[in-house]
């Protein structure tokens, strides 16, 4: 079976793009030919092949959790495009799929997420299937914060003691995610700099109860049916943020890249940040600091420093060290 369509492609800017198939595949694979500005990628005899098992950032859309509705994306090729309009034609050589479209992804914004430390909610990964934020394109008062406009990012200020204004009750300014809805999710790719068992916490303001679970490297901590529940209790207003530790959960992390997905089972929250931290360090000791040492130093709040911070406990190369 064959289908084809011609699409005018307004490039948002010149540059290099990864060209992805965005698709749900019921058979083992789908085959297609993509022609951009009269250059064909794939032929009838040797088409582009997208295997169901190779789809990334999968999500279920359209009802049942079956292959017909398990959408995901797969990079097919790279292309360099000049500014302006381009013409694209897509020809599906085999059926057995729900075809969402062709996605052009440019180099993502890099927020250099590292743990131990904070992961700001607004530093989510952009790209097909990496987040769902219902009505996110239209909501949020701080769209200029980043290039991706699909999630409701807001900036709130304390406004000189006006407790009716949104933001931290005791702070000046906060950049946060708002307009949350049940079923939303976000992905964060981060670099773990100290291997160990980690504790997770979420910093939110809630009106009512916020329910969530997370997935790290395809392992669920909590679930849709058994989520973690947090509630700012008597405060029950958008101005008060609190950090809640995930109880009784240790997350083993190796050094290097990891992927976390934060699932909102129930919205009812504004999100400031998440934190991943570890106590897997040795005892406190006095040390002589080697000026040539280039490793990072972490204070207990998870903030990285390129030099030790005096008068407090630092975490350095996996050791807990009090620096006089």
Q: Show the binding pattern over residues 169-198: x = contacts Ca ion (CB under 5 A), - = does not.
A: ------x-----------------------
Of the candidate spans 21-29, 60-68, 113-121, 226-234, the one that interacts with Ca ion by CB under 5 A turns out to be: 113-121
Q: Which is nearer to Ca ion, 228 or 273 (CB)?
A: 273
Q: Which is nearer to Ca ion, 94 or 201 (CB)?
A: 201
Q: Least distance (Å) from Ca ion to the CB of residue 120?
A: 4
Concatenate the DSSP letters of all residues of 23-71 into one string: EEESSSEEEEEEEETTEEES-SSS-EEEEGGG-EEEEE-SSSSSGGGEE
Q: Least distance (Å) from Ca ion to the CB of residue 210?
A: 16
d(CA 161, CA 152): 25
CA 114, chain centre distance (Å): 13
d(CA 232, CA 286): 40
Show Cβ contacts of residue 151 under 8 Å, excluding neighbours closer than 6 positions. 122, 124, 131, 133, 136, 140, 177, 186
* CB 23 within 8 Å of CB 95: no
Q: Least distance (Å) from Ca ion to the CB of residue 176?
A: 5
Q: Which is nearer to Ca ion, 125 or 272 (CB)?
A: 272
Q: Among residues 18, 67, 105, 120, which is the contact residue for Ca ion, using CB under 5 A?
A: 120
Q: Which is nearer to Ca ion, 145 or 221 (CB)?
A: 145
Q: Which is nearer to Ca ion, 47 or 121 (CB)?
A: 121
Taking CB under 5 A as the criterion, which residues in 252-281 touch Ca ion?
272-273
Q: Which is nearer to Ca ion, 101 or 171 (CB)?
A: 171
Q: Least distance (Å) from Ca ion to the CB of residue 123?
A: 8
**Listed residue (68, 40, 42) closest to 55, CA to CA:** 68
- The pair of three-digit structure tokens given for residue 291, joined into one six-digit string: 């000026």
Beta-strand pair 185-192/114-115 = parallel
Q: Give backbone dihedrals phi and psi of 170, rounded to 5 degrees, phi first.
A: -115, 15
If binding is defined by CB under 5 A, does position 145 make contact with Ca ion?
no
Of the candidate spans 6-14, 167-175, 227-235, 255-263, the one that interacts with Ca ion by CB under 5 A turns out to be: 167-175
Kindly state the number of chain residues that form the binding site for Ca ion, as judged by CB under 5 A.
4
Show Cβ contacts of residue 286 under 8 Å, excluding neighbours closer than 6 positions. 321, 322, 324
- The pair of three-digit structure tokens given for residue 293, joined into one six-digit string: 């040492």
Q: Least distance (Å) from Ca ion to the CB of residue 153?
A: 9
Q: Least distance (Å) from Ca ion to the CB of residue 175?
A: 5
Q: Which is nearer to Ca ion, 81 or 204 (CB)?
A: 204
Using the structure block, give the residue that is written with the tokens 């302006």.
84
Q: Least distance (Å) from Ca ion to the CB of residue 205?
A: 11
Of the candidate spans 13-21, 134-142, 168-176, 213-221, the one that interacts with Ca ion by CB under 5 A turns out to be: 168-176
Q: Which is nearer to Ca ion, 274 or 297 (CB)?
A: 274
d(CA 190, CA 230): 24
Residues of this chain that bind Ca ion (CB under 5 A):
120, 175, 272-273
């Amino acid at each position: 079976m064959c289908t084809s369509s011609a699409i005018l492609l307004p490039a948002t800017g010149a540059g290099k793009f990864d060209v992805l198939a965005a698709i749900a595949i019921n058979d083992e694979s789908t085959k297609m030919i993509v022609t951009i500005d009269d250059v064909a990628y794939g032929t009838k005899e040797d088409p582009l092949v997208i295997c169901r098992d190779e789809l990334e950032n999968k999500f279920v859309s359209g009802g049942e959790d079956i292959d017909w509705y398990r959408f995901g994306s797969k990079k097919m090729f790279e292309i360099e495009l000049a500014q302006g309009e381009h013409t694209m034609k897509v020809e599906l050589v085999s059926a057995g799929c729900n075809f969402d479209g062709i996605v052009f992804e440019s180099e993502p914004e890099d927020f250099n997420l590292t743990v131990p430390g904070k992961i700001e909610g607004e530093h989510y990964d952009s790209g097909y299937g990496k987040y769902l934020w219902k009505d996110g394109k239209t909501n949020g008062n701080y769209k200029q914060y980043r290039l991706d406009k699909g999630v409701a990012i807001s900036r709130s200020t304390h406004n000189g003691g006006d407790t009716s204004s949104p933001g931290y009750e005791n702070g000046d300014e906060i950049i946060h995610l708002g307009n949350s809805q049940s079923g939303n999710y976000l992905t964060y790719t981060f670099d773990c700099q100290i291997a160990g068992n980690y504790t997770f916490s979420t910093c939110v303001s809630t009106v009512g109860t916020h329910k969530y679970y997370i997935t790290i490297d395809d392992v669920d901590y909590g679930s849709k049916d058994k989520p973690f529940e947090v509630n700012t209790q008597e405060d029950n207003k958008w101005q008060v943020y609190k950090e809640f530790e995930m109880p009784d959960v240790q997350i083993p992390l190796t050094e290097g890249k990891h992927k976390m997905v934060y699932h909102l089972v129930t919205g009812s929250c504004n999100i400031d940040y998440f934190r991943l931290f570890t106590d897997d360090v040795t005892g406190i000791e006095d040390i002589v600091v080697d000026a040539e040492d280039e490793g990072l130093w972490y204070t207990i709040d998870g903030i990285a420093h390129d030099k030790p911070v005096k008068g407090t406990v630092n975490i350095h190369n996996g050791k807990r060290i009090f620096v006089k």
